[in-house]
Structure 1
Amino acid sequence: MNKSAIQKFAVWARRELIEQVSQRAYQYGVTVQGYGSPEDSVVNGRVLSDDEKKQRKELIRQIQSKGYDQVMEEVAYTWFNRFIALRFMEVNNYLPTHIRVFSDVSGNFRPEIISAALSIDLPGLDWDKVVRYIDGNQEDDLYRYLLLTQCNALNEPLPLMFEKMGSYTELLLPNNILREDGVIGRMVSDIPEEDWTDQVQIIGWLYQYYNAELKDETFALLKKNVKITKERIPSATQLFTPEWIVRYMVENSLGRLWIEGHPDEELRSEWKYYLDEAEQEPQVQAQLAKIRAEYAALKTQDIRLIDPCMGSGHILSYAFDVMIRIYEKSGVSRRDAAKSIVENNLYGLDIDERASQLAYFAVMMKGCQYDRRFLQRGAQPKVYAIPESNELDNETIAYFINNDPKIQKDFGTIVREFRDAKEYGSILNISPADFDLLNARVEEVRDDISLYRQNVLEQILPLIQAAEVMSAKYDVVVTNPPYMGASGMGAKLSEFVKKNYPDSKSDLFAVFMEKCHQITDKDRFQAMITQHAWMFLSSYEKLRQKLLLIDTVNMIHLGARAFEEIAGEVVQTTSFVMRNDRIAGYKGTYCRLIEPTTQQGKEDMFLAGENRSYKDQSTFSKIPGSPVAYWVGENYINNFVCGEPIIQFSIAISKGIFTGDNLRFLRKWYEINKKKLGTEWRKYSKGGEYRKWYGNLEYVINWKNDGNILRNYEKSGMGAEKYFGHLTYVWSKITSGKNSFRLNPANVFFDDASPAIVIKEKKDYLLGFLNSCVSFSFLELLSPTINLQIGDIKKLPILVSMAKVSKVKELVNESILKSVHDWDSYETSWDFKKHPMV
């Protein structure tokens, strides 16, 4: 797949479509500055048809509700979704007409539908209009009409992707769509046809790349302390999951659920990312046998899998493939299996309307892959965008309730719980309801003639559908959740997660770990890929304690660069499968894949079976904070049991000053009048590069009026000011390599980026330990991120070997003296006297 071509096209297409859609809106008197009257019949000197007046009025209503820019964005992506859907269908011959809409049979941008206009069997086509366009040599108008009619014809089998003709989005279909350098022309010419052939993943890549610039804009705003709004949450958090990781998660959750109850060596051999269970003790095997007896009773149509953050449906698509094989092994034909999978087995949710459209489409195309007549069978998947109840009017609600107290109670709860739902997505906690009753009322309305009928079907039905999916439990929950730290959350989302998920509030991925656990049935499986911070950081300690109560069946610890689109060390991930139960003594399988620096390298290491550990997770609780230390041995863990906490060798471990404005308060020492050093300016340690023993001492801090100017600055923080003037050992809080600790003289203040271990007198053994490979090994476990926090240092265990104390002191003193001499030999040191070569 040529991802470079896909990315280049998708990024350009978004800009082009927004511009073209806006141009169409301008033709109807709708601009960012205004839109005149919704009742206008003549716009820009042209009389509008009845359909155009209706569509324009609806367009204006949407703008009044959402704003001009948001509506232009939505219409642009709606047409983008339709274009890529039609392209995928024509290339794979899934269109009911079997006539290409964008290309000819040779793959050139010569729409076959134009040459077949007089013979095509297309529902809703007005032959008189076709003939009129042909006779008038109006090829652009003919193609526009054929394209809209084709979209309308697909409304019946694919209603969530193609709206009925008459929508305001039809009004904004761009002009000149037959241009070779237009969106359709470039889609056909720029992306090789083979990339569309039987590869529904292309839909996900197009979606991710289409959002790339919007994502960059969102993070640029975040750096300016602009919180992520609900409209921008999808673009900021969507990330296409690598194919092999999707297969790992699905095979080891859905596949495991089936294979453990229905052993099948042939099926097992097809799943190359499936991990066999670790060897277990007899008492564990006995417990597993009971659980597997339950699995054996499962029927294919009863298995329920959900992706609550489905994006463009990548996970659901592969789950479809796995379910097909499960059905086939149960003696069911592919044709019957495809319909049953869509109706019974797969569920999906997403906060984003456009993503849910594409996920819906991906599942339906999987149906077509296994049954060429699938679109004629009327099956519709239960994959939904999460709706809001904010715009629902009281009259429509009253009509739907119809004076039924039970409906009033249940639907009233749904309305309340779905207010501002797009702020929260599928982490919402939705109450159970009598969905049979609610759905029966919807069917009554469907057959009714009422002014409110359309409102019920368009606004109330989606609420009921989403509520039913969100209030249920599942056999398998598989997802790649959004990654969003608390600092990026808007006020409503932040308050919600603090209240409902206090143990995981630091990041949305952790919130989803809790939520996915809640919706997983007992003894069933939860599979996810998340940032690995939850395994180690103190802010997730309570979450880890909860997770120790359920079994980790297996894990692939990926570290950095698991996603080829993300460079650097910041996003470090792990993928895992958990069973919602705890068997004492159960050993999970852990694959340590952090060393390879490419996505392919990690996959290759996994398939080679390298770096695997088998661990009873109860051993993690022996280490302070219970980090998921699957790779360390029993002797290593015993250091934490037998060793003394490092805090016992110091007065305190403290953060330093946070100025809030370094440009204002900090200088290099040689930038100030040296006479003011020690009075108005004080020596200052501010982190810096890797350096052991001594050094990185080149800053001074404004301490005028005994520091009151800084102290009274509203953005500053003074840290543990009472320790200023003490001897300290400092380290650089942020580092991408090994940690290093340095002696900080008593007259040197320290920065928030350079926290300190405060001591009364020089503790050579302590500093030696801190700069040893032993300390580094412990910190790799306690703090595997680029931030070395005070809490991580406090957890370090130290075992003093009395026989080696004097030798350690000798080596440490020698190292300090050499480091001092080296640092002071450069002019950047405030103790520089002369160059050593002079």
Structure 2
Amino acid sequence: MNDTAIKNFCTWARNTLIEQVETRMRRFSVVEANALPEDATSVDGMPLSPDEQRQRSELLRLQREVGHAALAERAAYTWFNRLVAIRFMELRDYLPCRVRMLSADDGSFAPQVLKCALDVQIEGLDASRVMELMQTGDDEALFRCLFLAQCDELSSCIPGVFDRVGSAMELLLPDGLLRQDSVIDRLVTSIPEEDWERVEILGWMYQYYNAEVKDAFFKSKAKETPDTIGPATQLFTPEWIVRYMVENSLGRLWMLNFPESALCQKWDYYIAPDAEHEDFIRIDGPEDITLCDPACGSGHILVYAFQLLFDMYVERGYREREIPQLILEKNLSGMEIDPRAAQIANLALAMCAREHDRRFFGRGVQADVLVVAPTKFQRDEAGCVIELPEDAAIMADQQFIDALEHLDEVGSLLNPTEAQLEALRADAARFAAEVESDSLFGRGLGVKLQDALRVCEALARKFDCVVANPPYMGSSSFSPFMSKWIKKNYPDVKSDLFSSFIVRIMDYASEHGEAGIMCPFVWMFIGSYEKLREKMINEKTITSLVQLEYSGFAGATVPICTFTFHNGYVDGYKGGYVRLSDFVGAAVQAPKTREAIANPDCGYFYRRNAKTFTQIPGTPIAYWASDALLNAFEGGKKLSDIGKPRQGLATGENARFVREWWEVGLDREKFDCKSIKESLEWIACRMLV
């Protein structure tokens, strides 16, 4: 895959689309200081159709809600996302009309749909309008009509990505889509068709689209906000690490239940258990397995889990076309605070399903990717809730209300208690009933409570397997609310988001479930994570771990490890560890990991019972430590028992008392002394002068 071409296109496309969207906003007087009333029937002498009036009114409402710049950003990404989705589908012949929308058969930028506009079968397309536009020879208007009709048809197939025609965003679809050097032109011509063969390109494009936003955030050293925390913490997981985590969690669960299965022979990163044990979740077949990624981003982990589950269903004799629906309905769940990333995850899983079931788009099946969105309650100037009545059940838990209002920051770290869920259920039921009778509090409150309940019940679920590349963000970048909330809810791991997620994943996983995580490896050694290590060692079981070389992760200078654990303690279990510290560069990390797994005698593969790490003060995950070294810590005498180390002779202020050789005059230097005695005699003479 040509990463450079993709990154260059995505960065350019974002800036170009934002500029073009803002041009459309000015054209329809959706501006920051709007002089025209919301119900205006014309703009600068240009009459507005009833649909345009409605769309403009909705855009003005959104502008007041999120701000002008955020609205432009949202619209730009909406069209970027849809163009990328259609491009992927047309190259795989997945579009329902079976006609290329953006390119010609030969790959050039000449939309095939324009040549067969009268014959193309797109549900809801106005044939008379197509005929009218063809007669006028206005290809731009014709393409716009066909493109929007295609988006409308896809809205029933992938509603998380496409809206019904007539939505407000339709008004902000840029002009000049067929021009040379347009976004569509570059999308078609700058990225080779072979790069679109794998669905992972969708996730890469999302990350590159946000690259400038992410860089600007960390350069500014600003505190995170709901608008920045998603893009700032997005980090695409390398394919080999995804495979390693999924194979040693989902794959491990499968092999423990079906040791006769041959599937593990296809898993290059699977580390077989050191011995049989009885502590695992029993399943009768693939339909029994649940897997969640609680910070799913663009869905890379879910996509590979889909592939493994598909193979499991096939091995058990299921028919191929039935499997995608079963996987999406029974097996996979994702959670994400960034709705744009969630769109990509939905799209990627839909593409996986369509690959195996050509009628999938007509089945009405949606992936279970939850956008963890906040529920905002109105407040007075003192910050008190005024929309909820004082006798509402959740009013007794102000901290819970605060968390609901900040779910676009807290996200899937929220772990609702049963008492909180019961209170929310009671309020949702009460106000849902009052909505029907047009109560004082109105429909808005009932809908808000139902949405909050839906999200919280999803956050309270347990899963057989949990796999994640959680967000990395240090506490120095937390907003005031986030800093206070993390300290209260994750006091032992409050210094970073990733460590908080490790603890939360322990709760998402069912008892004796399997988990896989990619994160910075600082948790393995640094004193501030000692309590996390103790919890992991004493209450869980590390089944495997790969420690990458310091520069072994492409895309960020982060010391990375990836590991899997069993959500329960298995006495005496020896996990498999791979140490890549001696192999420099991202390109060699995957092959060296495969080599170690295939040849445990390679010298950098280790088997170790994690309980032995407790022999070393601070409990570091020192899996490479020899038995002799561990025994020395346990049975040897500590230096502190003998004496207290001190610094020794020191000037206390080197800059004042120590001189470099070039700072001394030549008359006070001698370079030809034959011995220390001669040099001392010379110094004594100089002192007498």
**Alignment match, 1:269:** 265
**Alignment match, 2:195:** 195
Contact 2:427 2:449 in 1 (8 A): no
Matched, 1:291 2:303: no
Matched, 1:608 2:595: yes
Residue 827 of structure 1: which of 652, 659, 662 is its match? 662
**Alignment match, 1:421:** 407
Higher relative contact order at CA 8 Å, sep ≥6: structure 1 or structure 2? 2
Separation (CA, whole Å) in 1 of partners of 2:515 and 2:666:
59
Moved more, 94-103 or 384-393: 384-393
1:760-781 superposed Cα distances (whole Å, 9 cap, x missing partner): xxxxxxxxxxxxxxxxxxxxxx
Separation (CA, whole Å) in 1 of partners of 2:431 and 2:365:
18
> Secondary structure of 1:250's partner?
helix
Contact 2:160 2:346 in 1 (8 A): yes
Shift in Å, 1:744: 3.1
**Alignment match, 1:304:** 290
> Secondary structure of 1:744's partner?
coil
Contact 1:556 1:590 in 2 (8 A): yes
TM-score scaled by structure 1?
0.73
Shift in Å, 1:298: 3.6
1:433-485 superposed Cα distances (whole Å, 9 cap, x missing partner): 479999999999999999x9997998666544432321101000000011111
Separation (CA, whole Å) in 2 of partners of 1:85 and 1:411:
43
**Alignment match, 2:217:** 218
Separation (CA, whole Å) in 1 of partners of 2:318 and 2:434:
36
Shift in Å, 1:120: 1.5
Matched, 1:633 2:626: yes
Shift in Å, 1:41: 2.1
1:165-188 superposed Cα distances (whole Å, 9 cap, x missing partner): 222211111010111201111000
Shift in Å, 1:584: 1.7
Contact 1:414 1:467 in 2 (8 A): no
**Alignment match, 1:51:** 51
Percent identity (aligned): 36
**Alignment match, 1:376:** 362
Change (3 A) 1:457 1:373: farther
Shift in Å, 1:50: 1.5
Change (3 A) 1:230 1:412: closer
AA matched with 1:551: T
Contact 1:555 1:590 in 2 (8 A): yes
Contact 1:389 1:416 in 2 (8 A): no
Separation (CA, whole Å) in 1 of partners of 2:31 and 2:395:
43
Change (3 A) 1:263 1:443: farther
> Secondary structure of 2:373's partner?
coil
Change (3 A) 1:162 1:50: same
Change (3 A) 1:326 1:261: same
**Alignment match, 1:806:** none
Residue 507 of structure 2: which of 469, 493, 518 is its match? 518
Shift in Å, 1:208: 0.9
Change (3 A) 1:240 1:632: same
Change (3 A) 1:379 1:409: farther
1:57-76 alignment, distance < 5 Å: 57-76=57-76
**Alignment match, 1:644:** 638
> Secondary structure of 1:82's partner?
helix
Separation (CA, whole Å) in 2 of partners of 1:830 and 1:214:
55
**Alignment match, 1:4:** 4
Separation (CA, whole Å) in 2 of partners of 1:487 and 1:832:
54
Moved more, 826-835 or 438-447: 438-447
Change (3 A) 1:181 1:336: same
RMSD (CA atoms): 3.4
Separation (CA, whole Å) in 2 of partners of 1:316 and 1:536:
30
**Alignment match, 2:613:** 620
1:46-195 alignment, distance < 5 Å: 46-195=46-195
Moved more, 268-277 or 37-46: 37-46
Separation (CA, whole Å) in 2 of partners of 1:145 and 1:446:
40
1:611-670 superposed Cα distances (whole Å, 9 cap, x missing partner): 111111111111111000100012112333324245974477xxxxxxxxxxxxxxxxxx
Separation (CA, whole Å) in 2 of partners of 1:101 and 1:453:
44
Shift in Å, 1:529: 0.4
Matched, 1:566 2:553: no
Structure 2, gaps ≥5 residues long: 381-386, 597-601, 674-689
Separation (CA, whole Å) in 2 of partners of 1:478 and 1:619:
26
Residue 745 of structure 1: which of 627, 633, 651 is its match? 651
Contact 1:826 1:835 in 2 (8 A): no
Separation (CA, whole Å) in 2 of partners of 1:456 and 1:109:
49
**Alignment match, 2:230:** 234
Change (3 A) 1:457 1:342: farther
Contact 2:392 2:427 in 1 (8 A): no
Contact 1:532 1:559 in 2 (8 A): no
AA matched with 2:295: C
Separation (CA, whole Å) in 2 of partners of 1:556 and 1:73:
38
Change (3 A) 1:492 1:620: same
Structure 1, gaps ≥5 residues long: 395-399, 653-727, 730-742, 751-819
Contact 1:445 1:456 in 2 (8 A): no
Moved more, 498-507 or 826-835: 826-835
Shift in Å, 1:38: 2.0
Contact 1:825 1:836 in 2 (8 A): no
> Secondary structure of 1:477's partner?
strand
Residue 574 of structure 2: which of 579, 582, 587 is its match? 587
Contact 2:285 2:316 in 1 (8 A): no
AA matched with 2:503: E
**Alignment match, 1:554:** 544
Matched, 1:250 2:221: no
AA matched with 1:369: E
Separation (CA, whole Å) in 2 of partners of 1:449 and 1:110:
55
1:455-494 alignment, distance < 5 Å: 463-494=452-483
Separation (CA, whole Å) in 2 of partners of 1:91 and 1:238:
27
AA matched with 1:491: P
Matched, 1:344 2:316: no
**Alignment match, 2:679:** none
Shift in Å, 1:40: 2.2
Shift in Å, 1:107: 1.5
1:121-168 superposed Cα distances (whole Å, 9 cap, x missing partner): 211111121111111111111111111111111111111100112222
Contact 2:395 2:401 in 1 (8 A): no
Matched, 1:503 2:503: no
1:713-724 alignment, distance < 5 Å: none
1:12-61 superposed Cα distances (whole Å, 9 cap, x missing partner): 01110111111110101123444643222221221211111211121111
> Secondary structure of 1:30's partner?
coil
Alignment length, in residue pairs?
A: 655
Residue 356 of structure 1: which of 330, 333, 342 is its match? 342
Moved more, 413-422 or 469-478: 413-422
> Secondary structure of 2:549's partner?
strand
> Secondary structure of 1:274's partner?
coil
Separation (CA, whole Å) in 2 of partners of 1:174 and 1:505:
44
Separation (CA, whole Å) in 1 of partners of 2:85 and 2:433:
33
Change (3 A) 1:539 1:141: same
1:736-792 superposed Cα distances (whole Å, 9 cap, x missing partner): xxxxxxx63245599xxxxxxxxxxxxxxxxxxxxxxxxxxxxxxxxxxxxxxxxxx
**Alignment match, 1:778:** none
Change (3 A) 1:518 1:590: same
> Secondary structure of 1:260's partner?
helix
> Secondary structure of 1:521's partner?
strand
TM-score scaled by structure 2?
0.88
